[in-house]
Structure 1
Amino acid sequence: MTHPTTKRVFISTGEVSGDLQGALLIEALQQRARDRHLTLDITALGGPRMAKAGATLVGETTGIGSVGIFEALPYLLPTLRLQRQAKRALDANPPDVAVLIDYMSPNLAMGDYLKTHHPQVPVMYYIAPQQWVWSFSENDTRKLVQCSDRMLAIFKAEADYYQRYGANTTWVGHPLVDRYPTPADQSAARQRLGLDLDAPVVTLLPASRQQEVKYLMPVLLKAAQIIQAQCPGVTFLMPVSIAALQASFEAGLSQYGLNGRVIADDSQVAIAAADVAITKSGTANLEIALMDVPQVVAYRIHPLSARIGYYLLKFDAPYVSPVNLVVDQTIVPEFLQWEATPAAIAAAALELLHNEAARQTMRAGYAKMREELGPPGVCLRTADLILDALVNGQPAGAMGDR
Structure 2
Amino acid sequence: MVDTRPFTIAMVAGEASGDSLGAHLISALKAHLPNARFVGIGGPKMIREGFETWWPQEKLAVMGYVEVLKHYREIVGIRKALKQRLLDLKPDVFIGIDAPGFNLDLELDLKRRHIRTIHYVSPSIWAWKAKRIHKIKRAVDHVLALFPFEPELYKAEQIPVTYVGHPLADIFPMTPPKQEMREQMRIAQARPVFALLPGSRQSEVRQHATLFVRTARKITESVPDALFLVPLMTRETREIFEKACYTEGAGELDITLMYGHAPEAMTVADVVLVASGTATLEAALLKRPMVITYKMSAITWWLMTRKMYLPYVGLPNILNKAFVVPEILQKQATPDRLAEAVVSAYKDKDGQKALVAKFTSMHQLLKQNTSLRAAEAVLHVLGAE
Asked if Structure 1 and Structure 2 have the same fold, meaning a TM-score greater than 0.5 normalized by the shorter chain, the answer is yes
- Counterpart code for 2:339: A
Instruction: List per-residue Cα deviations over 1:18-53 (Å, max 9, x = no partner).
Output: 1122222222222343xxxx4221113121121122
Structure 1 position 228, deviation (Å): 1.4
- Counterpart code for 1:129: P
Structure 1 position 275, deviation (Å): 1.2
**Contact 2:295-2:329 at 8 Å conserved across structures:** yes
Structure 1 position 219, deviation (Å): 2.0
Distance 1:242 1:167 in 2: 38
**Contact 1:189-1:270 at 8 Å conserved across structures:** no
The reply to whether residue 192 of structure 1 matches residue 187 of structure 2 is: no
Indicate the RMSD between aligned Cα atoms, in angstroms: 2.0
Q: Which runs of 4+ in 1 moved over 4 A?
A: none
Structure 1 position 314, deviation (Å): 4.4
| Count of aligned positions | 380
State the TM-score, normalized to the length of structure 2: 0.92
The reply to whether residue 329 of structure 1 matches residue 325 of structure 2 is: no
**Contact 1:234-1:259 at 8 Å conserved across structures:** yes
State the TM-score, normalized to the length of structure 1: 0.88
- Match in the other structure for 1:106: 102
SS at match of 1:89: helix
- Counterpart code for 1:144: I
Which consecutive residues of structure 1, in runs of 5 or more, have no partner in the other structure?
397-402
- Counterpart code for 1:102: D
- Counterpart code for 2:383: V
Structure 1 pair 352–113 and aligned structure 2 pair: CA distance change class (3 A): same
**Contact 1:219-1:342 at 8 Å conserved across structures:** yes
- Counterpart code for 2:94: A
Question: Which of 28, 49, 74 is the equivalent residue of 1:53?
Answer: 49
Structure 1 pair 222–329 and aligned structure 2 pair: CA distance change class (3 A): same
Question: Which of 266, 289, 296 is the equivalent residue of 1:301?
Answer: 296
Structure 1 pair 377–315 and aligned structure 2 pair: CA distance change class (3 A): closer
- Match in the other structure for 2:89: 93
Structure 1 pair 327–4 and aligned structure 2 pair: CA distance change class (3 A): closer
Question: Which of 77, 80, 86 is the equivalent residue of 1:81?
Answer: 77
- Counterpart code for 1:294: P
- Match in the other structure for 1:30: 30
Structure 1 position 206, deviation (Å): 0.5
Identity between Structure 1 and Structure 2 (%): 28
- Counterpart code for 2:286: M
Structure 1 pair 130–267 and aligned structure 2 pair: CA distance change class (3 A): same
Structure 1 position 326, deviation (Å): 1.1
Question: Which of 242, 254, 266 is the equivalent residue of 1:271?
Answer: 266
- Match in the other structure for 2:36: 40
- Match in the other structure for 1:156: 148
Which consecutive residues of structure 2, in runs of 5 or more, have no partner in the other structure?
none
Structure 1 pair 85–242 and aligned structure 2 pair: CA distance change class (3 A): farther
- Match in the other structure for 1:400: none
**Contact 2:174-2:360 at 8 Å conserved across structures:** no
- Counterpart code for 1:265: G
Distance 1:191 1:92 in 2: 55
The reply to whether residue 231 of structure 1 matches residue 227 of structure 2 is: no
**Contact 1:63-1:209 at 8 Å conserved across structures:** no
**Contact 2:87-2:110 at 8 Å conserved across structures:** no
SS at match of 2:309: coil
- Match in the other structure for 1:72: 68
Distance 2:230 2:211 in 1: 14
Distance 2:371 2:55 in 1: 24
**Contact 1:235-1:259 at 8 Å conserved across structures:** yes
Write the mapping of 1:120-159 to structure 2, written as runs, cut at 5 A.
Answer: 121-135=115-129, 138=131, 140-159=132-151
Distance 2:364 2:237 in 1: 35
SS at match of 1:224: helix
**Contact 2:170-2:369 at 8 Å conserved across structures:** yes
Structure 1 pair 213–4 and aligned structure 2 pair: CA distance change class (3 A): closer
Write the mapping of 1:216-295 to structure 2, written as runs, cut at 5 A.
Answer: 216-256=208-248, 257=250, 258-295=253-290
